[in-house]
Structure 1
């Protein structure tokens, strides 16, 4: 194997909460209705569901979904259902996904993000009957393009050593 394997520090629950809060705040910005802008909450939820499935689970995904439902003024439970299923399927495949490189992980994340958007689309169309167009699914592909950046940023605090030493490579 050519890439180094890091022994990661445990994830700080406060850091996890702060990343979810930051993702929610990014979703609150007015660019959220533009086509192709990623759903940051879904992206961070799938990341933590894959990397820390015991700390972030279906309950937190449901609560974040309810917050997004209230923010977007959609049918209550639309995002909650989508995020719950996203978290469930991410937890189901988390052991397998972690064995792959970051680029292959992104290919595993793509169907999860597309499924999330498909669930939201089905619920939206059953209520309003309007199809937003095929550009609606560009959000999933942007999330997959951002996956390596998200992995690098969110794993950075876990890569540092507890006590620095010049003789240890970790």
Structure 2
């Protein structure tokens, strides 16, 4: 009986995950004019959602927490806020992973916009308690920009994941 070739599990190199996270952090921190900053997607959040959805063994809630702390330190924001919110979002993605992973891209984008709204509402609540500067239009435009950016992020990161598996 001929031996079957050993099946290799679908793993993405840590290098690809770290590289995309650093690139997403750089895109998030990119200085833009104020009008464009309102519509800048949350690249790091979208990257966390992608890796949590498609590579949960390698990039789960601990990955989300570390990425959130990196963003908190880089933006000099409320320390732990993004770590908490990214971890919460990763938990939502991981709990709905079976349904979300097989959904069409448009349905995924709508669900991710919903995750973004939950993320932003909790951020609004925490920042409203901590500070006075809150703009609802900013938060809603971010959810819409994440909705529009998800297909691009999905396409680029899925290609990178396939390349790094070779």
Residue of structure 1 equivalent to 2:16 = 15
- Give structure 1 regions of 4+ aligned residues with deviation exceeding 3 angstroms: 157-160
State the Cα RMSD in Å: 2.2
28 and 106 in structure 1: CA distance in 2 versus 1, 3 angstrom threshold:
same
Q: Which runs of 5+ in 1 are unaligned?
A: 1-7, 164-170
Identify the residue that residue 88 of structure 1 maps to in structure 2: 91
Shift of 1:32: 8.5
Measured at CA, do residues 111 and 35 of structure 1 come closer, stay the same or move farther in structure 2, by a change above 3 Å?
same
- Deviation for aligned residue 1:72: 1.8
- Show the counterpart of 1:124: 127
Counterpart contact for 2:85–2:123, Cα < 8 Å: yes
Which residue is equivalent to 1:52? 55
Q: What is the match of residue 5 of structure 1?
A: none
Q: What are the Cα deviations for residues 43-75 of structure 1, in whole angstroms up to 9, with x where unaligned? A: 100111111111101111111111111222221
Return 5+ residue gaps in structure 2 as ranges: 1-8
Aligned length: 156
Describe the shift of the 1:76–1:157 C-alpha distance in structure 2 as closer, same or farther (beyond 3 A): closer
| TM-score normalised per structure 1 | 0.83
Structure-2 residue corresponding to 1:98: 101
TM-score by length of 2: 0.85
Distance 2:76 2:116 in 1: 21
